[in-house]
Amino acid sequence: MTAVPLAPWQSFGLAFLLDMLLGDPERMPHPVRLMGCLIQRLEKPFRSLPVSTVAAGGFFALLLVFLSFALTRGVLALAHGVHPWLGSALEVLFLYYCIAPRCLNDAALVVEKPLLLGDLENARCKLSMIVGRETADLSPMQVCRAVIETVAENFVDGVLSPLFWMVAGGAPAAMAFKMISTLDSMVGYKNERYHLFGTASARLDDAANFIPARLSIPVVALAAWILGLPPENAIRTALREGSRHQSPNAGYPEAAFAGALEVRLNGPAVYDGVLHDKPFIGRRFGDPTVIHIQKARCLLLVSSLLGAAGIMAILYLFSAY
């Protein structure tokens, strides 16, 4: 009997299950680490191009995104040529590398545990590994706020956007998105070094997350309803205050989480020694506590499961016709 490769919805289902069971594979070769190395190696040659810094950064970003898409597609084609099941196995692996709900949950839990024990210094140290703001002087409430913001924002970047691009173009598109996300995290800064060279990377990230960020509102609201949290607050806060953020996308999932949890997020924070007076989101609610981190993790996991179920349903319907 000839082996039949997995259908797209089955490949994705296995990839999501692997992530929930295993989390991010620290000891395995990871495409994102390879992307980071490639970005570091190619930055200097592209900065030397005889064009403007903005244009050099644009060529740099577009080439790396194209390479991610093309290499993934080429590797999968070769694997399927060797044997259909090898191709399916590699596709599951690529998809597994692209999503991170378990990793996000674990990162929040690592900060939550010392907070519950009253070990603020350890909580600040753990938080510094997952946020860009300075954490040394944060109060317990500010630590809680930062954790919930990170969970909410990265629900889009680490879960919903990869799912969206999987539907749009399978594993190659999902890997291209991971390159966009990695570029933004490495060169998409508005500092002296990258405010010109990283412009294209930052704009690509904004464009890639635009639709998923807004899709997060109904997903988070439905998850809130399942968990017994107020879904109407999630929708209302996201629609009213989602645009109150310096990012064109991050405010929407943060506002949805703020409404569902009934907490106030965002606000002033220090980055690289400079105080950024960011507006609050969820202004009518109170300040978060460690209990709200627990609720945020539950909201993240249920939202991720709903997103995965929706993607599997879409892929199944496509495969049926």
Q: Are 138 and 128 in contact (CB under 8 A)?
A: no
The predicted-structure confidence for 49-87, as pLDDT tens digits, reads as follows 999 999 999 999 999 999 999 999 999 999 999 999 999
CA–CA gap between residue 86 and residue 78 (Å, rounded): 9
Determine the Cα–Cα distance for residues 96 and 76; give it in Å rounded to an integer: 14
Q: Is residue 84 in a domain?
A: yes
Counted domains in the chain: 1
DSSP 23-78: -S-SSS--HHHHHHHHHHHHHHHHHTSSS-HHHHHHHHHHHHHHHHHHHHHHHHHH
For residue 213, what are its two tokens? Answer: 């960020």
Q: Report DSSP state, residue 286.
A: B
Environment class of residue 174 by beta-carbon count within 10 Å: exposed (0-12), middle (13-18) or buried (19+)?
Answer: buried
Does 1 reside within a domain?
A: no
| Residue whose C-alpha is closest to residue 46's, from 175, 203, 206, 198 | 198
Q: With b meaning 16 or more CB within 10 Å and e meaning fewer, what string describes 119-152?
A: eeeebbebbbebbebbbeebebbbbbbbbbbbbb
Question: What is the crossing angle of helices 84-98 and 8-22, to 10°?
Answer: 50
Taking each helix axis as running N to C, give the angle between helix 161-187 and helix 84-98, from 0 to 180 degrees, rounded to the nearest 10: 60
Report d(CA 11, CA 88) in Å as an integer: 7
Angle at 223 between CA 156 and CA 32, to 5 degrees: 25
In this structure, what is the dihedral angle of CA atoms 44, 46, 50, 55, given to the nearest 10 degrees? -130
Tell me the per-residue pLDDT of 189-244, one tens digit each, with 9 for 90 and over. 878 889 999 999 999 999 999 999 999 999 999 999 999 999 999 999 999 999 98
The verdict on residue 107 lying in a domain is: yes
Per-residue pLDDT of the chain (321 residues; tens, 9 = 90+): 445 588 889 999 999 999 999 887 766 667 888 999 999 999 999 999 999 999 999 999 999 999 999 999 999 999 999 999 999 999 999 999 999 999 999 999 999 999 999 999 999 999 999 998 899 999 999 999 999 999 999 999 999 999 999 999 999 999 999 999 999 999 988 788 899 999 999 999 999 999 999 999 999 999 999 999 999 999 999 999 999 888 899 999 999 999 999 999 998 888 878 888 889 999 999 999 999 999 999 999 999 999 999 999 988 888 766
Q: Any idea what the Cα angle at residue 189 is, between residues 187 and 192, rounded to 5°?
A: 100
Give the residue numbers spanning the domain of 103: 8-319
Indicate the SS3 state at residue 281.
strand
Between CA 34 and CA 39 the distance in angstroms is 9
d(CA 313, CA 318): 9
Is 54 within the bounds of a domain?
yes
- Whether 44 maps to a domain, the answer reads yes
For 274, phi then psi, to 5°, come to -115, 130
The answer to whether position 3 is within a domain reads: no
Helices (H) and strands (E) in the chain, counts: 12, 4
Taking CA atoms, 73 is separated from 42, 79, 174, 316, in Å, by 22, 10, 11, 21
Contact 139, 269 (CB under 8 A): no
Residue at token pair 């879904």: 231
**What six digits make up the tokens of 227?**
């968990």
Angstrom distance (rounded) from CA 84 to CA 77:
10
2 part of a folded domain: no
Q: Is 300 part of a structural domain of the chain?
A: yes
Total residue length of the chain: 321
